[in-house]
């Protein structure tokens, strides 16, 4: 069930039975020579909607923009400041809580979101604990891949998976958006992975084609199908466990 495709009466009826909702969150950033700029929010959205269909739970509209300042050296990337992302997450949770939602399960596609999103959760909890405002809610952030998906990724790609513009996320996009499959030469085949990074200029200097430790030329739609099915299974289980806690 997609919140955006419901009427308010349907949402009200849903809240008479359930108080949980899934919120996909990702980013708008480069993903190497053959990865889509929308990869992080599109993967989270696809898996979230798969869980919604399987469990009959509501899925909110995707929060597409994330904290991606380090990717701004590549055309098309866009970012929210950490403080902005915190406010967006806080306001979405508190708005939905007004209506009776109490469990917020964020399915995430971007590692750069973790610090800001979890800090936003703490802001929500702090306001409640300090008696300032808010409802008694619980929030959780989970990547779209769980233990089964990580095991499958390791079996398919081993060390070629990498840390950014990964084989698994490119494969998932090739399955979910076959009309947008891209090909491009990559040299070296396996991107460098050593060293951290700071701002956007530093990232571009260290990883000139955008990849970190990955060989996404290994991606395929068939791998994406396997990853999608496994990820939906992982996230359905994780969501149900969250509701029970």
What would the pLDDT profile of 116-135 be if each residue is shown by its tens digit? 999 999 999 999 999 987 78
In angstroms, the Cα distances linking 62 to 9, 92, 200 are 21, 11, 25
pLDDT at 135: 83
Q: Give dist(CA 83, CA 175) in Å, integer.
A: 34
Cβ neighbours for 158, distance < 8 A, ≥ 6 positions apart: none
Return mean pLDDT, the chain.
97
The CATH number covering residue 21 comes to 3.40.50.10310
pLDDT at 244: 96
Residue 79 has pLDDT above 90, yes or no: yes
Q: Angle CA(46)–CA(190)–CA(43) in degrees, nearest 5?
A: 5
Q: What is the mean pLDDT of residues 133-160?
A: 96
**Could you tell me the residue range of the domain that residue 120 belongs to?**
3-244
Q: What is the mean pLDDT of residues 71-79?
A: 98
Q: Looking at the 3D structure of the chain, how many domains does it have?
A: 1
Q: Give dist(CA 150, CA 21) in Å, integer.
A: 24
Per-residue pLDDT of 177-188, as tens digits, reads 999 999 999 999
Per-residue pLDDT of 186-204, as tens digits, reads 999 999 997 789 999 999 9
- Round the CA-based radius of gyration of the chain to a whole number and report it: 18
Complete edge-to-edge strand list for the sheet that includes strand 58-59: 58-59, 20-25, 103-108, 138-143
Residue 147 has pLDDT above 90, yes or no: yes
- Coil, strand or helix: which one is 190? coil
pLDDT at 178: 98
């Amino acid at each position: 069930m997609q919140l955006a495709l419901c009427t308010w009466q349907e949402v009200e009826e849903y809240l008479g039975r359930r108080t949980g909702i899934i919120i996909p969150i990702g980013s708008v950033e480069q993903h190497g020579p053959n990865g889509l700029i929308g990869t992080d929010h599109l993967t989270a959205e696809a898996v979230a909607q798969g869980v919604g269909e399987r469990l009959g739970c509501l899925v909110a509209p995707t929060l597409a923009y994330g904290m991606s300042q380090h990717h701004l050296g590549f055309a098309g990337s866009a970012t929210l400041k950490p403080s902005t992302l915190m406010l967006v997450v806080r306001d979405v949770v508190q708005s939905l809580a007004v209506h009776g939602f109490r469990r917020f399960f964020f399915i995430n596609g971007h590692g750069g979101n973790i610090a800001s999103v979890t800090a936003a959760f703490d802001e929500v909890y702090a306001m409640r604990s300090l008696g300032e405002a808010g409802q008694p809610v619980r929030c959780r952030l989970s990547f779209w891949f769980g233990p089964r998906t990580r095991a499958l990724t390791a079996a398919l790609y081993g060390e070629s998976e990498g840390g950014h513009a990964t084989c698994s996320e490119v494969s998932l996009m090739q399955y979910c958006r076959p009309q947008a499959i891209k090909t491009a030469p990559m040299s070296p085949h396996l991107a460098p992975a050593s060293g951290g990074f700071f701002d956007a200029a530093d990232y571009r200097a260290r990883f000139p084609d955008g990849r970190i430790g990955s060989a996404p030329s290994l991606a395929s739609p068939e791998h994406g199908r396997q990853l999608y099915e496994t990820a939906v299974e992982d996230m359905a289980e994780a969501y149900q466990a969250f509701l029970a806690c």
